[in-house]
Chains A and B, each alone.
Chain A
């Protein structure tokens, strides 16, 4: 299954993702510019991504905890999510994300 990511410089990446991995973990594993400093605990917001509009409604909606962490980034948009809260599965094959400037290392 593929995760399609545009990084902060506009470079597009096709990443092979594994079922059950967090989108954050896939991007980190492939060496993209993602800080993810809390390691996936939904406690820092440094894995912030913008979700392609066609995919927004196909994700499990953010819990209030995730929304509260998104309050700690300055560049949110309507399609902002924390990529540590997106779990890859067949249903998300081909998911398109853009790494937010605030996720940079």
Chain B
């Protein structure tokens, strides 16, 4: 498939619960969607922050986990054939003279659509940057938050920080090609898979790598290239050589490029009306945690409501001449046909 140019009715930015349910409401009105998300799977915060945590305020479910809610929504929207694009961030939303929008992601993929729905929650999930003064100058030169090319790490003095699976997996993968390997973690207790932890401890016992209990102190180097760093441990500060640093502290949400799309913002949230949940740019809507209006509550159920009203407004933009009949899925055979009810 030639992926350079996609045309669709609606681009939904963010595949969290609210973005997913918007597909349902838009689908009942025959609108086709493409969803884009920076994560590698649907669910947004429900998938990344609390997949196993119970949620008690989803109407009709006395308790449901973030992952179950996501799975249920995916099943519910299946009839509408939405297309998902994962691991991508939208850099740009441009209004076209012809009406409609051109949306461009960080891989250069272009989506042409009539309506844009921003359902981006708290923004994009991005790696947590350790609050170490001056770390920015080393980023992408000698400090990395992911491993793109193993070659970059060959014969280097590598320091990996963290105690989860990413940290341990990369310790084991990069240790054979490193000049030296050090794992830094705040305590002698790891969330990572026990098997990886055992393998790491065997390497330490064999003198092939070091494990230091502590936290990142200062970074030293020139022109973005690290030469040494300090590790603060319980009762001492150690200085160790380092030429590649990989901090793995998980993800956090950053507003990101949304701020540059010309939408009116208030405290990093997109202002919308409460009839259509439309932004200051006609044809661009914002639903869920990313929007704000008087009385806003950041609840999943509020986002569902916002998606339903937004869909009516989107339909009027996309099919201005069509009369919209309000129907219930319980009684409408037309809607049931769309849902594949037999």
Contact = CB atoms under 8 A, between A and B. Distances in A.
Interface of A: 35, 37-39, 41, 43-46, 67-68, 70-76, 78, 100-102, 104
A73 B187 CA distance: 12
Interface in B179-199: 185-187, 189, 191
B53 interface: yes
B50 A76 contact: no
A35 B251 CA distance: 13
Contact of B187 (A45, A71, A75): A71
A74 B216 contact: yes
Interface in B14-38: none
B133 to A, nearest CB: 9
B131 interface: yes
26 contacts: A37-B45, A37-B49, A37-B252, A37-B253, A38-B45, A38-B49, A39-B298, A41-B49, A41-B50, A43-B50, A43-B53, A44-B252, A68-B191, A71-B163, A71-B186, A71-B187, A72-B164, A72-B250, A74-B131, A74-B132, A74-B215, A74-B247, A75-B131, A75-B215, A78-B234, A102-B128
Contacts of A104: 131
A74 B130 contact: yes
A41 B53 contact: yes
Contact of A70 (B45, B130, B186, B234): B186
Nearest to B53: A41
Contacts of A46: 252
A72 B53 CA distance: 18
A37 B234 contact: no
Contacts of A38: 45, 49-50
B161 A74 contact: yes
Given A43-B49, A71-B185, A71-B187, 14 more contacts: A37-B45, A37-B253, A43-B53, A68-B191, A70-B186, A71-B162, A73-B249, A74-B161, A74-B249, A75-B130, A76-B186, A76-B215, A100-B131, A101-B131
A74 B215 CA distance: 6
Contacts of B234: 78
Nearest to A68: B191
A33 to B, nearest CB: 12
A37 B250 contact: no
A38 B215 CA distance: 24
A104 B128 CA distance: 12
A73 B249 CA distance: 6
* Chain A to chain B: the 3 pairs with minimum beta-carbon distance, closest first: A74-B130, A101-B131, A72-B250
Contacts of A45: 250
B122 interface: yes
